[in-house]
Amino acid sequence: MDIQLNDLAAFVHIADAGNFSKASEAFGIPSSTLSRRLAYLERQLGAPLFRRTTRRLTLTDFGQAYLDRCKPIVEGIYSAHRHLTDMHEVPAGRLRVSMPAGIGQLILPTVASEFRYKYPTIECEIDLSTRPVDPIENPFDIVFRLGEQPDSSLIGRRVAEFNCFLFAAQSYVSARGAPIAVSDLRRHECLRFGMSRYDSTWILNRGTVTESIGVNGKLCANNFGLLARFAAAGLGIAPVPVLKAVEPQLHEAGLVRVLPEWDFGIVPLIALVQSRRLPAKIRAFLDFFEPRLKKA
């Protein structure tokens, strides 16, 4: 038996309307097509669903019993479709977001109240981390990560860009001296971002010149804010993404640029999502935060 969902939906519309012309208007297809679908369905079932007169269709006992079972199924499918459509059109529901702690702590407290007022039907759950994202097990709706991301099934969207410079406390520079050349970093305590041995190589740029240097240090962390605090405590030289909002804080903390002609280049902030067709709650979050991140 080959019964299509569209045939069931056509049958329900015909039963509700009582004739082909009204059902045609409701279902949006010609009466002749509905008549053919109904005839095909009756052949598949091996019994008539309607008693036909010139003006009206009346359900047979078999047709009534079939309608009682089919109608909840068809209505459930329409309800599911409307729910998914609403998800794409109306910003609402639980939104799970993961972002680096430094970015979250800087941006979220200043704009969370405005976002909550603008989108009162969105419930946000924020995870502050930089752990790698498994495309299959990913529990988040949006994942923000610094730097270009490995190829995966997730869709990446560049939402902001920062430049990253080297900073140290004035007390550290006074005690250990400031590096004059990139090669001097080998004899300094370098506060590294990340938790693997690959993070011990820094690639620095000066205009079109690029130098790669292996660095050492007794401290590393996966949080730029913590690295900046380590540096402010005189514990070494740290890479720090510079945002307009944090520049005054860096100076207030007694941090100074070292190797001021060199930088790590542009560090993008990437938003990773699972599909190009975004539900309304994700579009709302990105459209709200992207311009604010770029101003940070």
Phi, psi of 97 (to 5 degrees): -125, 135
Instruction: Tell me the pLDDT band of 246, cut-offs 50, 70 and 90.
Output: low
Gyration radius from the chain CA atoms: 31
Residues making up the chain, counted from first to last: 296
| The pLDDT of residue 191 | 94
**For residue 155, is pLDDT > 70?**
yes
CATH 3.40.190.290 domain extents, the chain: 92-295
pLDDT at 176 (0 to 100): 94
pTM metric for this prediction = 0.60
Distant-in-sequence, close-in-space partners of 268: CB < 8 Å, separation ≥ 6:
146, 147, 148, 158, 160, 161
Query: Mean pLDDT, to the nearest integer, of 129-155?
Result: 79
What confidence tens digit (pLDDT) does each residue in 105-117 have?
A: 778 888 888 999 9
Q: Which regions of the chain carry the CATH code 1.10.10.10?
A: 5-88
> Residue 245 — very low, low, confident or very high, per pLDDT cuts 50/70/90?
low
Q: Is the pLDDT of residue 231 over 90?
A: yes
Q: Which residues contact 103 (CB under 8 A, 6 or more apart)?
A: 144, 146, 269, 293
**pLDDT tens figures, 24-69:** 877 777 888 888 888 888 888 888 988 887 677 888 999 899 888 8
pLDDT at 237: 97
Q: How much is the mean pLDDT over the chain?
A: 84
Alpha-carbon span 5 to 234, nearest angstrom? 70
CATH number for 5-88 (one of 1.10.150.80, 1.10.10.10, 1.10.101.10, 3.20.20.10): it is 1.10.10.10
276 vs 146: CA distance, rounded Å: 20
In this predicted model, what pLDDT tens digit does every residue of 258-296 receive, in sequence order? 999 999 988 888 898 888 878 888 989 999 988 887 776
**CA quadruple 195, 201, 204, 209: dihedral positive or negative?**
negative
The CATH classification number of 92-295 equals: 3.40.190.290
- Between 172 and 132, name the one with better pLDDT: 172
Is the pLDDT assigned to residue 166 strictly greater than 90? yes
